[in-house]
Amino acid sequence: MQRSAPNKDAIPGAVEQEGQCLRLSGSWTLAHYRQLKQSLERQSVPAGDFELRLESIHALDTAGAALLANWLGPERLDKMVTADQALQPERRALLQTVLKALTREPAPPVPVASPLIEALAYLGRQTEVVFRHFWELSGFIGLVLQTLFSIVLRPWRWRMTALVNQIHETGFNAVPIVALLTFLVGAVVAFLGATVLGEFGAEIYTVNLVAYAFLREFGVILAAILLAGRTASAFTAQIGSMKANEELDALRTLGLSPMELLVVPRVLALLITLPLLTFVAIISGLAGGALVALISLDIPLGQFFGILADVPLKHYLVGLVKAPLFAFVVAVIGCMEGFKVSGSAESVGRHTTSAVVQSIFMVILLDAIAALFFMEMGW
């Protein structure tokens, strides 16, 4: 019976010293790492200069090369490998690569910034994000205005069906929630006014408080905030879903402009409906105040509306003139965030939330600027 020859790679490596010559043999691989390490620990490193012979090694990998480098020392092994002219080129390259990795200097530690520097860096990043949002909003507003001016003298390009549908969705369907909310807020303002002014015996001025609050501020800002949460989010979700389903690409393929077909009707609808909703909000707020005045302060409705008749008309106009500006900003932000959707359901939700937050922020910011302007103008 003939015996098969033993596998040379199964023989662990060995070290033989013959005078000033150190001969390595066997398999210097990861499979024999433990045996090789124990063998080298029992054998001392030769002193002085000697020759290293590696031609008897059957197999060599990075584990065996690293073990040999740690035993002899990287610099010493490098000199021996360079001097050994009989060494195969691939093994020479392997040994030199391992030696280079072992002698590589560690990366310098990253300096830890102070909390002040981290805070300033964070502030700078957030400032850049806000500036970029304002820059994108300015560019999108310019694109909307360009589209509006390009079709204003071309009646055959007006999308009347889409406009009427958006007026119905954003205006008529929003009347109940706007009326209910402003009625309750009007009642709360009247309660607060009666509580504070009652200490001075001036409950009658609660009527003026409710009138000035809703004519100048509460009517328009409550309606705008409700539209920011209700309508801007709807615009973003609708346009974002169309972009995720590649419907916007289909419109462009058919030669239709998404700005003209989707954005302009929504912007015009909000420009029409928000002033009307502001009027509804003012009437509802005054009705809530009148109810509280009648029940808690014993002010008859005739006297209540008689005091309202003495309020100058300019206060109503100051509140109403801000409605188109708020409507334009809310509609533009809602549509812009819809176009920024990347194509997933998560992106639709993220940009819908961003549209609501940005719209409410811009409404409050513009209202504060308008209040300062009207105060300086004496209006």
Residues of the chain with pLDDT under 50: 1-5
The residues pairing with 18 across neighbouring beta strands, listed in sequence order, are 21
Q: Tell me the pLDDT tens digit for each residue of 312-355.
A: 888 888 888 899 999 999 999 988 888 888 877 788 888 888 88
Confidence at residue 12, expressed as pLDDT on a 0 to 100 scale: 64
**What is the gyration radius of the CA atoms in the chain, in angstroms?**
40
Determine contact, residues 52/69, Cβ cutoff 8 Å.
Answer: no
Confidence at residue 162, expressed as pLDDT on a 0 to 100 scale: 83
Q: Please report the sign of the dihedral spanned by the C-alpha atoms of residue 328, residue 329, residue 332, residue 338.
A: negative
**Average pLDDT score over the chain:** 81
What are the extents of the domains in the chain?
8-102, 143-377
Identity of the amino acid at 320: L
Confidence at residue 240, expressed as pLDDT on a 0 to 100 scale: 86
Alpha-carbon gap, residue 363 to 14, rounded angstroms:
82
| DSSP character at residue 159 | -
**Architecture of 8-102 per CATH?**
2-Layer Sandwich (3.30)
**31-50: b or e for each residue (b if 16 or more CB lie within 10 Å)?**
bbbeebeebbeeeeeeeeee
Confidence at residue 310, expressed as pLDDT on a 0 to 100 scale: 82
104 φ, ψ to 5°? -70, 135
Structural tokens at position 227: 């539209």
Q: Please report the sign of the dihedral spanned by the C-alpha atoms of residue 217, residue 220, residue 226, residue 227.
A: negative
Confidence at residue 181, expressed as pLDDT on a 0 to 100 scale: 92
